Structure 1
């Protein structure tokens, strides 16, 4: 998308405002993950916990689909939105593992939020160091959901993201080359 001159002079590309927000947005997500109370949910309120988990994942899935469609049409701001939503997905699964870990017998070795984040990223990368072991049915169910969610939504989002970045890179003129002088 080209810059256009308006009454106040040259205008920045609509997506230019979004890039500086990516770092702070991800930082806020991680700060919220580590600071928000998780004791509201858990084994004492299983219906509420599963409802919140399901609604949040469904909302993220809907937003991912919207921004994947926007990426196909090269709409501005989609890269930042997709990266933020992918990070949010990791944090939601990590929060679920942390909440489930308060139920005795669900996990061995998962005690802190950092443990939960570590376990989520290992599951996402299909790795295991065997230091955290899911033992209960709820923990195993969330792992299965994470694997399926990753296969369907995060893989599609990453594909959309890389496609958008490739199209953007291909449409830019090469750097460092000025006009040739004869």
Structure 2
């Protein structure tokens, strides 16, 4: 009785094969498509790359059935064992998109004129998020929004409050006070 074994099989479309192997653990190390698996005379169940399971209690199997329900041949690599097999390799069904790491861009505080509007950040499709803070030294709230930001439109920020949003368009601030306000801005790009 082998404690660990691997099997690589090419399975034609709409074909079931049987492996004479025993164990209480099975894992799919690699597969070029989805397939069904059955232990002994148990019903078939969907299986794919990266899946594995261990039978509970003292149960074991003495044969492994593999069925390819697809319309093209697939290649399947399975591992069987008595006892769990730990596998630290990562397996992914699809490519993982990798992009540039986010980058934080800061600049000097921006002055928003009394009862007026200031552009905080021009539109940028590379911008992931913008962070705006109504500095605590300001006497009143400001409003953050698009070009229509005004005394009655936009997200209201009290002195000391911060607003963070995923937005790629122009971002403006409107100052409701009769004195200039100072706004801190940071942009996350990537």
Normalised TM-score (structure 1): 0.25
Which of the two has greater strand per residue?
2
Normalised TM-score (structure 2): 0.24
Which of the two has greater helix per residue?
1
